[in-house]
Amino acid sequence: MKKLLLMALLLMAANAHAAPKNSCIRYQKDHFFYHRGEEMNVIDVDLEWPEYVDGFHVKNLQAYLAGMLFGSQGEFSGFEKSYAAFLQRFGDPVVQQFKTIPDDRKFCYVEVSLRQKGHLANRYISYELSYRCTPERLSTQRGDTVRHYITYDLQQQRVLRMKDLIRTQRLENGYYGAGMLLELARNASIDFGDDMLGITFLDGYLADSDFCFDMLYMTEEEYLPFTTRLSVKDYRSLLTREARGILEKEAPPGPMSTIREDSLWQGEPIYNKVDKAPEFRGGADGLAKFLKANVNYPAEVAARKVGGTVMVEFVISKTGEVGNVKVVSPVDPALDREAVRVVKLMPKWIPGEQRGEPVATILDLPLGFRLE
């Protein structure tokens, strides 16, 4: 099977889009080293943060995520403020070498992750979110671990958990008999064997046309985590009333006019109209070679025969670096992720110019994926 590649090599300023911007997912990945006095805090952040989805403001979703991941309370004040307040809890950035070796017992390790798991246009978007804070013995940070899935109802602007989506009592009382067990086994990430004593549902969400589950496979000797899925079509009677509403009621798109773009990047104004556009070093041919060498078709997507064009928006800084990468016309979480990965790999560009001076410029790049 060949990987495909793209190719709409037309790069353009953001005021001349090749496709409508119906969504905006910010891809934020950071590694920080902070200190509070003698305490050291290592922070790793990997977020696929929803700013708009299918034209909808998703403030209820953002407020929920900020509360779970950043510990934010009260009314959501925007990603930047919530993120900055979260980082302030860990002191100040380390900006110089230490005179003495830091005490390992005063370290704390923090991991924050948000990954999109599923999306059905105008109906829902699903996420896996996790927060883990692991303090060493003399750290004053409070240890905590949070990990679960959510499905967000775009029409009703509600955050839903597994119990809100499926009639869990039917899973627990054997309502579907051996047929469901065979279906779960067929789609499982591990092989079911003769040593199985039972299975347990842990958490779940909607993705594509399926219920997706995290489960435990139990034997006399161990519990093994695995993932699997069930077809919504085949197990419609599992759906709660809320889930039926999401999947079956009319679902008009959100108001596209609400979508706005950033005006600043790292304190500098962003231009969408410039006298001289940014240029990939080597021109269109150089960009084509770079993409051909670096774009991969994710195997998980190839198996589902999914394709389409992902529109990625990004900023070329006045010194040529690529930053502020977002997906503004998504296709599939795995394809979107691959498009973002490749854009972030790009070397420095020749920056755009306004009145003869280099400026930060916003660009769109359509990346097309198809199987050959």
The CATH number assigned to the domain holding 271 equals 3.30.2420.10
In a domain, 99, yes or no: yes
Domain count, the chain: 3
Q: Final residue of a domain: which of 135, 162, 189? A: 162
CATH number at residue 75: 3.30.565.40
Torsion, CA 330, CA 335, CA 337, CA 338, rounded to 10:
-130
Q: Given a cut of 70, is residue 259 above it in pLDDT?
A: no
CB 329 within 8 A of CB 21: yes
Is the pLDDT reported for residue 13 higher than 60? no
Same domain, residue pair 284 and 365: yes
Please report the pLDDT score of residue 24 as a whole number: 93
Is residue 253 situated within a structural domain? no
182-221: per-residue pLDDT in tens? Answer: 999 999 999 998 899 999 999 999 998 899 999 999 999 9
Cα distance from N-terminal residue to C-terminal residue, the chain? 7
Biggest CA pair distance of the chain: 74
pLDDT digits (tens, 9 = 90+) for 154-186: 999 999 999 999 998 888 777 888 899 999 999
Q: Is 255 within a domain? A: no
Contact 154, 123 (CB under 8 A): yes
pLDDT in tens, 344-366: 999 999 999 999 999 999 999 99
Checking if the pLDDT of 72 tops 50, the result is yes
With tokens 């750290």, the residue in question is 139
- Same domain? 25 vs 155: yes
Domain span at 328: 264-369
Q: Is the pLDDT of residue 75 over 50?
A: yes
100 in a domain, yes or no? yes
H-helix segments, the chain? 59-65, 79-88, 162-165, 168-172, 177-186, 241-248, 283-294, 299-304, 333-345
Note whether 26 and 158 are same-domain residues: yes
Structural domain includes residue 172: yes
Do residue 95 and residue 37 come from a single domain?
yes
Q: Provide the pLDDT confidence category of residue 2 given band limits of 50, 70 and 90.
A: very low
What is the per-residue pLDDT for 74? Answer: 82
Nearest to 153 by CA among 245, 76, 233: 245
Domain co-membership, 149 together with 179? no
The predicted structure's pLDDT at residue 370: 79
Domain shared by 173 and 150, yes or no: no
Statement to judge: residues 173 and 45 lie in one domain: no
The pair of three-digit structure tokens given for residue 267, joined into one six-digit string? 């304190």
Q: pTM of the full predicted structure?
A: 0.89
Q: Is residue 246 part of a domain?
A: no
> Does residue 12 sit within a domain?
no
Query: What is the C-alpha separation between 368 and 293, in angstroms, rounded?
Result: 15
Taking 70 as the threshold, does the pLDDT of residue 8 lie above it?
no
Q: Is the dihedral of CA 280, 285, 288, 294 positive or negative?
A: negative
Residues 272 and 329 in one domain: yes
Mean pLDDT taken over the chain: 89
Is residue 42 domain-shared with residue 133, that is, in the same domain? yes
Tell me: do 139 and 184 sit in the same domain.
Answer: no
Cβ count within 10 A of residue 275: 12
Q: Is residue 221 part of a domain?
A: yes
Are 150 and 31 part of one and the same domain? yes
CA proximity to 120, closest of 52, 28, 210, 234: 210
Which amino acid would we find at residue 320? G
Query: Residue 142 has what DSSP assignment?
Result: P
Asked if 312 and 327 touch (Cβ cutoff 8 Å), the reply is yes
User: pLDDT, tens digit, for every residue of 29-65?
Assistant: 999 999 999 999 999 999 999 999 999 989 999 999 9
Task: Give yes or no: residues 33 and 146 share one domain.
Answer: yes
